[in-house]
Amino acid sequence: MRASWEALHAGLARSVRLLQALDSFTTLKQQHGALARFDDPVSLIEYLASKHGDLDEKDAIVGLLATLVQEGEHRELAAPLVWLGLWPGLDAIHRRRTRHFLAAPDDLVSEIADAFTHEIAALDLTRVTRVAATLVRSTERRVLEGRDREWTETNTVQPRGDIWALDEPPPACRVSRLGLPLTVDVTEDLAHLHAWLASVVGEDAELLLAVLVLEETQREAGERLGLSHDVARKRFQRAFARIRQQAAQELSQSGPETSV
30 in helix, strand or coil? helix
CA 7 to chain centre: 19
Close Cβ partners of 21 (under 8 Å, ≥ 6 residues apart): 15, 41, 76, 77
Check whether residue 211 and residue 228 sit in a common domain: yes
pLDDT averaged over every residue in the chain = 80
Give me the mean pLDDT over the 4-13 stretch.
Answer: 93
More confident call, 173 vs 223: 223
Taking the CA atoms of residue 141, residue 147, residue 152 and residue 154 in that order, the dihedral angle to the nearest 10 degrees is 170
Look at residue 197 and tell me whether its pLDDT is greater than 80: yes
Look at residue 251 and tell me whether its pLDDT is greater than 90: no
Amino acid at 199: S
Structural domains of the chain, count: 2
**Boundaries of domain holding 116:** 3-150
Amino acid at 204: D
The string of pLDDT tens digits covering residues 13-49 is: 999 999 999 999 999 999 999 999 999 999 999 999 9
Domain boundary, last residue among 97, 125, 150? 150
Domain boundary, last residue among 132, 150, 168? 150
Check whether residue 33 and residue 128 sit in a common domain: yes
Q: For residue 192, what pLDDT band results from cuts at 50, 70 and 90?
A: low
Check whether residue 63 and residue 172 sit in a common domain: no
Check whether residue 177 and residue 252 sit in a common domain: yes
Check whether residue 243 and residue 188 sit in a common domain: yes
Q: What is the pLDDT, as a whole number, of residue 171? A: 41
Check whether residue 110 and residue 12 sit in a common domain: yes
Check whether residue 177 and residue 193 sit in a common domain: yes
Task: Return the biggest CA–CA distance within the chain.
Answer: 75
Check whether residue 139 and residue 221 sit in a common domain: no
Cα separation of 180 and 169, whole Å?
9
Check whether residue 60 and residue 16 sit in a common domain: yes
Check whether residue 101 and residue 19 sit in a common domain: yes
Look at residue 227 and tell me whether its pLDDT is greater than 90: no
Check whether residue 128 and residue 172 sit in a common domain: no
Q: Decide: residue 90, CB within 10 A, 0-12 exposed, 13-18 middle, 19+ buried.
A: buried
The string of pLDDT tens digits covering residues 61-105 is: 999 999 999 999 899 999 999 999 999 999 999 988 887 776 677
Nearest alpha carbon to residue 137 among 235, 71, 9, 223: 223
Close Cβ partners of 86 (under 8 Å, ≥ 6 residues apart): 48, 49, 62, 132, 135, 136
Close Cβ partners of 56 (under 8 Å, ≥ 6 residues apart): none
Domain boundary, last residue among 128, 150, 172? 150
The per-residue DSSP string of 161-177 comes to -STT--PPPPTT--B-T
Check whether residue 133 and residue 211 sit in a common domain: no
Nearest alpha carbon to residue 72 among 137, 128, 24: 24
Cα separation of 155 and 159, whole Å?
9
Can you list the alpha helix ranges (DSSP code H) found in the chain? 3-15, 19-31, 41-49, 55-71, 75-85, 87-97, 105-122, 131-153, 186-201, 205-212, 218-224, 229-254
Whole-structure pTM value: 0.59
